[in-house]
Amino acid sequence: MKLSGILLIVIMTMGGLGYWYYTDTQKTIAVLTENNAKLNVAVATNEATITAMAADFKKANEEIQRVNTEFAATRQQNNILADKLAEHDLELLASKKPDSIERLINRGSSAAGRCFELLSGSPLTEKEKNAKNEKAFNNECPWLFDNYKSRGMLNDTTAD
């Protein structure tokens, strides 16, 4: 009887330990499962963020390329303008024909100001929309004519 009592106590102790081990393991599995789900959400969020950042980086690079191309075109036009100005002695002309030079400078300044307006997104005027060539579009920034023409923003009066 003693032996059966000891065996009963050992079996009950082993059963209790088994039950405790089982419930503790289940709690640990539940925590690990929850953590795994959170980790999966974090991984998905990170992957989406990386994809969005890569797309933004690509767009930024494309914009930098576009700006650099426009900057190079602007430099080229500035060089052309500098060459034109170097061909004339403005001081001598201004002293001989001040009214004519004033008119030319005012007209050029107005046209150059309009270039800045166009580059800033200002809408085209009817005269600009109906321009047949670069010079009719704007003497100071004729390169913009092809840009607007290629985007279909000019009236089709250039087909001759």
Q: Could you report the per-residue pLDDT of 115-155, keeping only the tens digit for each?
A: 889 888 889 999 999 998 988 898 888 878 888 888 888 88
User: Is it the case that residue 156 has pLDDT exceeding 80?
Assistant: no
Residue (of 148, 143, 135) closest to 71 by Cα position:
143
Residues 114 and 65 placed together within one structural domain of the fold: no
Residues 78 and 133 placed together within one structural domain of the fold: no
Band (pLDDT 50/70/90 cuts) for residue 49 is very high
b/e per residue 2-19 (b: at least 16 CB within 10 A): eeeeeeeeeeeeeeeeee
pLDDT at 153: 85
pLDDT at 160: 45
Distance CA 73, CA 144 (A): 10
The number of domains in the chain is: 2
Start-to-end CA distance of the chain, whole Å, equals 120
**Domain membership of residue 157 as a residue range:** 89-160
pLDDT at 158: 44
- Final residue belonging to a domain, choices 87, 104, 119: 87
Residue (of 113, 111, 112, 121) closest to 148 by Cα position:
121
